């Protein structure tokens, strides 16, 4: 993970007008099971991404080849499939439009945390130290805990100052849908959908990198 983090930052954001969009969608029942899908979309910068992928390094950062990216994704899929409570694992890598997706079913929210632990062991990084999920079926409360880590900021600091400005339009979007109406949610920048069954949060990547925003949220369903 650390080896390719800088490369991901470079590949993920290449133009002032359009950086990257990372979208995380969670669809969950009130019993705690559901699906999660993550999408990284760099399609509007595909010409420059294609050029970068032909290089071995950019500003001293190693650029992974398409083959290496496929191998890394396949290893992630194997890790997912071996994680208890995780099933129906699917992924796609579109090297024409540069859109990557990864999805799976989870039997319960703890399976998501177990998946994070498995990835932490594989990539030798502490994913679970700053992000975890919890769901109380009795109170029907979904909680996401997030603690800012300076690691990403340290990696980001290695990028030349001129290139840092390219992240001005990079966004992270989180959508959580339920099969019951939502009573409340705690994040000041998140919104409850018109049908009362989804929470939508969109934040700038730079705000996550520098720690000026967070992803912690508590969502309570109507009993």
Burial annotation 60-73 (CB, 10 A radius, 16+ → b, else e): ebebbeeeebeeee
β-bridge pairing 171-178 and 21-28: parallel
Which tops the pLDDT comparison, 168 or 77? Answer: 77
Which tops the pLDDT comparison, 98 or 85? Answer: 85
Residue 219's pLDDT band, with cuts at 50, 70 and 90, is very high
What CA–CA distance (Å, rounded) separates 79 from 73? 10
CA-nearest of 11, 23, 36 to 173 is 23
User: Averaged over 142-155, what is the pLDDT?
Assistant: 83
3-state secondary structure of 216: coil
**Cβ(203)–Cβ(189) below 8 Å:** yes
Residues 87-144: tens digit of each pLDDT: 999 988 888 887 888 889 999 999 888 877 766 665 555 544 567 899 999 999 999 9
Please name the residue that has the structure tokens 């934040």: 203
**Cβ(148)–Cβ(214) below 8 Å:** yes
Tokens coding 165: 């400005």
In the prediction, which pLDDT does 143 show? 95
Burial of 155 (0-12, 13-18, 19+ CB in 10 A): middle
Residues 152-161: tens digit of each pLDDT: 777 778 776 7
Kind plus residue range of the DSSP H or E element containing 211: none
Residues 186-217: tens digit of each pLDDT: 999 999 999 999 999 999 888 888 888 899 99
Residues 40-67: tens digit of each pLDDT: 887 766 666 666 666 666 666 666 777 8
Question: What count of Cα atoms within 13 Å lies in the side-chain half-sphere of residue 59?
Answer: 15
What CA–CA distance (Å, rounded) separates 103 from 97? 19
Q: What is the DSSP annotation of 34-99?
A: EEEEEEEE-GGGHHHHHHHHT-SEETTEEPPPHHHHHHHHHHHHHHHHTSTTEEEEEEEEETTTTE
In the prediction, which pLDDT does 168 show? 72
Burial annotation 25-59 (CB, 10 A radius, 16+ → b, else e): bbbbeeebbbbbeebbbbebbbeebeeebeeeebe
Whether residue 15 has pLDDT greater than 50 = no
In the prediction, which pLDDT does 163 show? 64
In the prediction, which pLDDT does 178 show? 97
In the prediction, which pLDDT does 179 show? 96
Instruction: Give me the chain's average pLDDT, please.
Output: 79
Highest mean pLDDT among 1-5, 11-15, 118-122, 153-157: 153-157
User: Averaged over 19-33, what is the pLDDT?
Assistant: 87
In the prediction, which pLDDT does 120 show? 65
């Amino acid at each position: 993970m650390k080896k390719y983090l800088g490369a991901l930052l470079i590949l993920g954001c290449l133009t002032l007008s359009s950086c990257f969009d990372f979208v995380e969608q969670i669809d969950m029942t009130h019993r705690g099971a559901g699906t999660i899908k993550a999408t990284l979309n760099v399609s509007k910068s595909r010409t420059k991404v294609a050029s970068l992928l032909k290089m071995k390094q950019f500003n001293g950062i190693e650029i992974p080849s398409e083959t290496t990216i496929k191998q890394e994704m396949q290893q992630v899929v194997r890790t997912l499939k071996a994680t208890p409570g995780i099933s129906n694992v699917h992924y796609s890598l579109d090297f024409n439009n540069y859109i990557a997706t990864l999805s799976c079913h989870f039997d319960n929210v703890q399976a998501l945390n177990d998946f994070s632990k498995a990835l932490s062991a594989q990539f030798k990084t502490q994913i679970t130290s700053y992000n975890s999920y919890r769901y109380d079926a009795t109170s029907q409360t979904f909680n996401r805990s997030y603690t800012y880590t300076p690691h990403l900021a340290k990696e980001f600091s290695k990028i030349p100052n001129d290139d840092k400005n390219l992240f001005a339009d990079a966004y992270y979007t989180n959508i959580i849908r339920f099969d019951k109406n939502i009573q409340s949610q705690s994040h000041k920048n998140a919104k409850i959908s018109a049908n009362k069954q989804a929470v939508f949060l969109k934040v700038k990547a730079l705000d996550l990198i520098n720690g000026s925003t967070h992803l912690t949220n508590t969502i309570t369903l109507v009993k």
